[in-house]
Structure 1
Amino acid sequence: MTNAMVIAAVDGSEHSLKALEWARAAAVRHGTGLVVAHVLSDSAQLYAARRSSLQDSTEPEHFEDPVSDRIRALLTAAGPLPSEVRYESLEGSVPEALREAGEGARMLVMGSRGRGGFAALLLGSNSRAVATSAACPVVVVAHEARGVAAASQPSAGRVVLGLHAAETADNVVEFAFAEALARATTLQVVSAYSVPPVPTMVIDSPFAVIPPEALVGEDENAVPAEREMLRSQTERLAPFRARYPGVSVEQAAVPGDAAGRLVDTSNSAALVVVGRHHPRRHIRSLMIGSVANAVLQHAHGPVAVVPTLTEPSELSASAGI
């Protein structure tokens, strides 16, 4: 995956231009190329089909595409460019065209909403369709309506990983570590345990973030399920910490609502990473898990939805994300 390209899906909307800037910076960080993909409008596709069917050589070979022209101009005026930049005009429906373009990509980046749809929607239908079915990781960049706190600092903040110690696939964890390394930032790992909280616990209080070295001793104030979750996290993350010694890791175990905690952390995170579906279920039975769906719908910042490509390590855990 080292040489895999970053793909930016654009349609000329302000949402997609934010995604383009995010993708440009990601390609530069990872030292890979950038593909700017634009699905042609229906009129352009009809023109191409008509010209092909009539074989009329007098008609211009290319239909004027103002979106591509605008994107080229904007990208040229942006910050540092990746070593390779390609522009591709795609045909077909938006989800199908982007799914095909994303085969083998490092990631596909798109805005949370395109030109169409209702202004009140937090997530557009095309963004959801691609994020729930693409073969590569899909990064959805939230739009202004979600109140993005770090919109002016796309590289600020830590990477947050939603982890179920027993079920999150290795490639999902790997993606999160690689992102934290490329950003030279901390990886915060958040898992949830489903046991009822103790009576003195306040559900809405900030959760504790605990470094792995602090888990050596016993915390008498922690409930047993919390201690077990943190230990399961530590065991699950051990091979990745060895593979990425330069990544600082913080661990957090929270009671109850995993999705809500991840949405809260997304306000200051550079990226929230979630796995797409349960690896042991048939792929068509659950395209996206409930936690991933909630985070995708409501996160305040960029979310990476990573498909399950590998089985998780055989570790025991009683609960989690």
Structure 2
Amino acid sequence: MSNTPVIAAVDGSEHSLRALEWARKEAVRHDCGLLVAHVLPDHAQLYAGRRASLHDASEPGEIPDPVRPWVASVLGAGGSELPEGVAYEALEGSVPEALRVIGSEARMLVMGSRGRGGFASLLLGSSSRAVASSAACPVVVVPHAERGAAAEADAAADTAAGAGQSAGRVVLGLHAAETPDDVLTFAFTEAAVRGTTVQVVSAYAIPPSPTLVIDSPFAVIPPEGLADEGDGVPAEREMLRSQTERLAPLRERFPDVPVEQAAVPGDPAGRLVIASRAAALVVVGRHHPRRTAMSLAIGSVAHAVLHHAHGPVAVVPTLKDDV
């Protein structure tokens, strides 16, 4: 069994229940431990501080934590398979900072898209966004039930239609020249433990419609990037060639993982959101590698996919300093 755990961040909400269940399955797949972490609410932390400052021996010694028995009941119900090592830890401090610290040695940190205190209309909670933007390990954000329902329905339809291998695949957002190797390795590893396909999605710019040019910035591509006489789009062919070259080392390392390549016109985030409907997991890099390796900023593609994807999204940081 691996000593590097999967961490599930929970707060007792329905959102964190989905994250806990996803993390449980992930720990079983990787044959590693599961650490369930709960950042104590402010009132519990204030109580602990008061007791410590007053040295009041008459006060209960333990900080009240109603989430601990909830976790025990969830993991103990239904006969679901558990990893060999399951631990629980109550944390103090702000939610983003406490989870960043505990996640520094984790295989990945799994959390819900919204917490107990989030507004129902929010697509992504502030804590999820903050942790995904700055954690030292990959962060998987599991969407709430309403967003996940569409993905589950589409995956079931794909299976019924005989899509087979494509349903439940791992989708990798790739910029062949810029996406760090850590992102590719994470995606292929996830596909390997699931016995599924990696679908590699790259997007290229297209000339805008004249109606969109007014008062709007747009990218201009050279004539060779336009469609030629029925032989396809040179920009697409070049992107597929770049993909193939970049993926060669991963194909060698993971010979049993099938790979589907897609070069598509338009916005990369939008294409990844569409692909998320039939995906078990979407994998994106956290930021442009030309930023510093430990930059707190999250890239625009990762930001948009986190907000709108229909299934779990893994945001993978750059783990090396020499990019």
Supply the distance in 2 between the matched residues of 1:221 and 1:14 (Cα, whole angstroms). 51
SS at match of 1:271: strand
1:39 matches 2:43 = no
Supply the distance in 1 between the matched residues of 2:63 and 2:47 (Cα, whole angstroms). 7
Residue 286 of structure 1 deviates from its aligned partner by: 6.7
Aligned to 2:133: 132
Residue-by-residue CA offset, 1:45-65 (whole Å, 9 max, x unaligned): 111111211222222111221
Indicate conservation of the 8 Å contact 1:111/1:143, yes or no. yes
Supply the distance in 2 between the matched residues of 1:63 and 1:285 (Cα, whole angstroms). 35
Indicate conservation of the 8 Å contact 1:278/1:286, yes or no. no
Indicate conservation of the 8 Å contact 1:196/1:256, yes or no. no
Percent identity of the aligned residues?
Answer: 71
Indicate conservation of the 8 Å contact 1:10/1:20, yes or no. yes
1:75 matches 2:86 = no
Indicate conservation of the 8 Å contact 1:13/1:114, yes or no. yes
TM-score, normalised with respect to structure 2: 0.85
RMSD: 2.4
Residue 284 of structure 1 deviates from its aligned partner by: 7.3
Aligned to 1:121: 122
1:146 matches 2:156 = no
Residue 66 of structure 1 deviates from its aligned partner by: 1.2
Question: In structure 2, do the counterparts of structure 1 residues 146 and 33 end up closer, same or farther at CA, with 3 Å as the change threshold?
Answer: same
Question: In structure 2, do the counterparts of structure 1 residues 133 and 142 end up closer, same or farther at CA, with 3 Å as the change threshold?
Answer: same
Residue 309 of structure 1 deviates from its aligned partner by: 1.6
Indicate conservation of the 8 Å contact 2:112/2:141, yes or no. yes
Residue-by-residue CA offset, 1:143-163 (whole Å, 9 max, x unaligned): 123253345989x61000000
Indicate conservation of the 8 Å contact 1:149/1:268, yes or no. no
Question: In structure 2, do the counterparts of structure 1 residues 253 and 178 end up closer, same or farther at CA, with 3 Å as the change threshold?
Answer: same
1:293 paired residue among 270, 284, 303: 303
Supply the distance in 2 between the matched residues of 1:172 and 1:147 (Cα, whole angstroms). 23
1:169 paired residue among 180, 198, 202: 180
Larger deviation, residues 176-185 vs 78-87? 78-87
Q: How many pairs are equivalent?
A: 293
Supply the distance in 1 between the matched residues of 2:74 and 2:5 (Cα, whole angstroms). 20
Aligned to 1:96: 97
- AA aligned to 1:18 is R
Aligned to 1:256: 266
Runs of 4+ in 1 over 6 A off after TM superposition: none
Indicate conservation of the 8 Å contact 1:196/1:255, yes or no. no
1:231 matches 2:232 = no
Aligned to 2:50: 50
Supply the distance in 2 between the matched residues of 1:113 and 1:262 (Cα, whole angstroms). 21
Question: In structure 2, do the counterparts of structure 1 residues 311 and 232 end up closer, same or farther at CA, with 3 Å as the change threshold?
Answer: farther
Indicate conservation of the 8 Å contact 1:122/1:145, yes or no. no
Larger deviation, residues 49-58 vs 106-115? 49-58
Aligned to 2:112: 111
Aligned to 1:24: 24
Residue 274 of structure 1 deviates from its aligned partner by: 0.2
Aligned to 1:221: 231
Aligned to 1:208: none
TM-score, normalised with respect to structure 1: 0.86
SS at match of 1:59: coil
Aligned to 1:267: 277
